[in-house]
Amino acid sequence: MSRTGAVPPILRRALRPATPHCYRHCDRPLRGRTVPISAPGWLCVYACPGGAVSVVTYHEWAKTDPTPTLLRFARSHTSPSTVVRRWDMRLAGRHGPELGVTAERFLAKARPIRPVRVVYWRLYPFKKKDGSAFRLFACFRHGVGAVQFFVAPRESQSPPCPRC
């Protein structure tokens, strides 16, 4: 059917959030951007128009834990890489009934039967030792499908990327 880990378009549609909004930064609609990576799964970055990241999701249609894949990718694309911590990532399994009728029928026919594994990376706003508040932002201006994550002051609307 598909190679192990690859997420078919029918499942991608079912996994997208219905009405995502940036609740902690600007209250504007989020845009989910797919980022191509060398791993078989599907990486999507949900960020507001100002670049504030709400959540990064990595999906694999496999029985194994895809957290190390997202961890490696996030560390190699984040400045500084020390803000990427294992305990900020949450693993979930998504099965047919919670994905809707179309996806449920698709998964029922699939062999071997395996769940869609989703790793959520959410870095909540944090304070540095000096008391200044920071949050995670994303810049998508680094080539086709490339993304650079960085931290900037929490109240920034569109902070400059350190690599641009």
Range of the structural domain that residue 142 is part of: 9-152
Q: Is residue 160 part of a domain?
A: no
Per the structure, the count of domains in the chain is 1
Q: Is residue 33 part of a domain?
A: yes
Instruction: Please report, in tens digits, the pLDDT of each residue of the chain (164 residues total).
Output: 445 667 777 788 777 776 666 666 677 778 888 888 888 888 999 888 888 888 899 999 888 899 999 999 999 999 899 999 999 999 988 877 777 788 878 877 877 777 888 999 988 877 778 888 888 999 988 766 689 999 988 777 778 888 77
Query: What whole-number distance in Å separates Cα of residue 33 and Cα of residue 43?
Result: 8
Max Cα distance, the chain (Å): 55
Q: Is residue 161 part of a domain?
A: no
CB 48 within 8 A of CB 54: yes
Query: What whole-number distance in Å separates Cα of residue 117 and Cα of residue 79?
Result: 27
Q: Is residue 158 part of a domain?
A: no
Q: Is residue 84 part of a domain?
A: yes
Q: Is residue 18 part of a domain?
A: yes
Predicted TM-score (pTM) of this structure: 0.83
Q: Is residue 138 part of a domain?
A: yes
Q: Is residue 2 part of a domain?
A: no
